[in-house]
C-alpha cells in the first residue's frame, strides 16, 4: 500500500490519541483512590463492630453502678430506721440486736462502696475507650470523604480528557484516506496500530530493528506504507529514524 508521508503522520497522531483515550478511560473507570476507599469501608465496619462492643461494656457498667447506688440507698434507709428504733427503745435485748444489725449494715455499705469505686473506674475507662473509638471512626470517615471527593474530581478530569481526545481522534480520522484508516484500525484492534521509527527503534513495541530489516526499510520509498517486522504496526519513518 502507498500513502503520502503526511497521511502516515496522521495515523501516528491517531495512535497517540488512541493511547491517550485508553489511559483516560482506564483512569475514569479505575480512579487510584478506589482501593483505599474500599479498605476504609472495611476498616470502618470493623471499627463500628468494636464500638458496639465497647458501648455494650459501658452500658453494662452503668447499669451495674446504678444497681449498686440503689443498694447503698436501701442500706442507708435501713440504717436510718434502725438508728431511730435504737434511739427510741429501752429494751436491752432489742438494742443489742439493732446494734448488731447496724454494724452489719455498715460493713455491707463499705463493701458496696468499694465495689462502686471499682465500677466507677471501669466506667471511666469504658468512656475513654468509647471516645477513642469514636474519634478513630471519625478519622476514618474524614479520610474516606476526602478520598471520595478526590476520586470524583479525578474521574471528572479523566472524562474531560477522554471526551476531548475522542473528539480530536474523530477529526484526525476524517482526514486519513479510507484504505490507510482501515489498515490502521485493523492493526489497532489487536495492539498498537502505528509507531514512529526513532533511532532504529520502533516506538510501537520499543524493539531495536535488526540490520537486515533496516536495509529493507531503506529501499522503501517515502510513500510506501511499511510494517514493523517485530510487532506488525505501521512504521512511520522520519528524519529521526536513523536510516
pLDDT digits (tens, 9 = 90+) for 84-105: 998 888 888 888 888 899 899 8
Same domain, 16 and 41: no
Same domain, 11 and 108: no
Residue 87, pLDDT score: 86
CA distance 44 to 91: 69
Summary mean pLDDT of the chain: 94
Neighbours of 108 (CB within 10 A): 16
Same domain, 22 and 34: no
Average pLDDT estimate for 122-128: 96
pLDDT-derived band at 207, boundaries 50, 70, 90: very high
Same domain, 92 and 18: no
pLDDT-derived band at 116, boundaries 50, 70, 90: very high
Residue 213, pLDDT score: 87
Same domain, 178 and 201: yes
Specify whether the CB–CB gap between 172 and 13 falls below 8 A: yes
Under 8 Å CB-to-CB from 27, ≥6 apart: which residues?
Answer: 154, 155, 158, 161
Is 167 within a domain?
no
pLDDT-derived band at 156, boundaries 50, 70, 90: very high
Residue 211, pLDDT score: 86
Q: Which of 99, 128, 156 is the last residue of a domain?
A: 156
Q: Which of 129, 156, 183 is the last residue of a domain?
A: 156
Same domain, 148 and 53: yes
pLDDT-derived band at 242, boundaries 50, 70, 90: confident
Q: Which of 156, 188, 209 is the last residue of a domain?
A: 156
Q: Work out how many domains the chain is built from and give that number.
A: 2
Average pLDDT estimate for 76-82: 92
Residue 243 in this model has a pLDDT that exceeds 80: no
Per cent of the chain over pLDDT 90 is 83
Could you tell me the pTM of the whole model? Answer: 0.71
Chain position carrying cell 529493507: 216
Burial of residue 53 (CB within 10 Å: 0-12, 13-18, 19+) is exposed
Is 169 within a domain?
no
Same domain, 39 and 95: yes
Domain range for 221: 5-26+174-237
Same domain, 147 and 185: no
Same domain, 181 and 94: no
Which tens digits make up the pLDDT trace of 18-77?
999 999 999 999 999 999 999 999 999 999 999 999 999 999 999 999 999 999 999 999
Same domain, 36 and 137: yes
Residue 76, pLDDT score: 92
Amino acid at each position: 500500500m502507498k500513502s503520502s508521508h503526511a497521511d502516515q503522520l496522521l495515523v501516528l497522531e491517531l495512535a497517540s490519541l488512541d493511547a491517550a483515550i485508553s489511559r483516560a478511560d482506564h483512569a475514569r473507570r479505575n480512579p487510584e483512590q478506589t482501593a483505599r476507599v474500599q479498605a476504609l469501608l472495611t476498616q470502618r465496619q470493623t471499627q463500628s463492630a468494636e464500638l458496639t462492643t465497647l458501648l455494650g461494656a459501658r452500658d453494662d457498667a452503668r447499669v451495674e453502678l446504678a444497681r449498686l447506688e440503689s443498694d447503698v440507698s436501701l442500706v442507708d434507709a435501713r440504717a436510718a430506721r434502725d438508728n431511730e428504733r435504737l434511739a427510741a427503745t429501752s429494751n436491752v435485748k432489742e438494742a443489742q440486736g439493732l446494734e448488731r444489725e447496724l454494724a452489719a449494715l455498715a460493713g455491707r455499705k463499705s463493701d458496696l462502696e468499694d465495689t462502686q469505686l471499682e465500677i466507677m473506674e471501669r466506667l471511666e475507662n469504658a468512656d475513654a475507650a468509647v471516645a477513642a473509638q469514636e474519634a478513630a471512626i471519625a478519622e476514618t470517615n474524614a479520610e474516606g470523604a476526602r478520598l471520595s471527593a478526590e476520586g470524583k474530581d479525578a474521574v471528572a478530569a479523566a472524562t474531560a480528557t477522554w471526551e476531548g481526545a475522542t473528539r480530536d481522534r474523530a477529526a484526525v480520522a476524517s482526514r486519513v484516506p479510507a484504505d490507510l484508516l482501515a489498515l490502521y484500525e485493523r492493526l489497532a484492534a489487536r495492539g498498537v496500530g502505528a509507531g514512529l521509527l526513532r533511532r532504529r527503534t520502533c516506538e510501537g513495541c520499543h524493539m531495536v530493528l535488526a540490520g537486515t530489516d533496516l536495509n529493507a526499510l531503506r529501499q522503501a520509498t517515502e510513500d510506501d506504507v511499511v510494517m514493523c517486522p517485530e510487532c506488525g504496526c505501521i512504521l512511520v519513518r522520519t528524519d529521526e529514524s536513523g536510516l
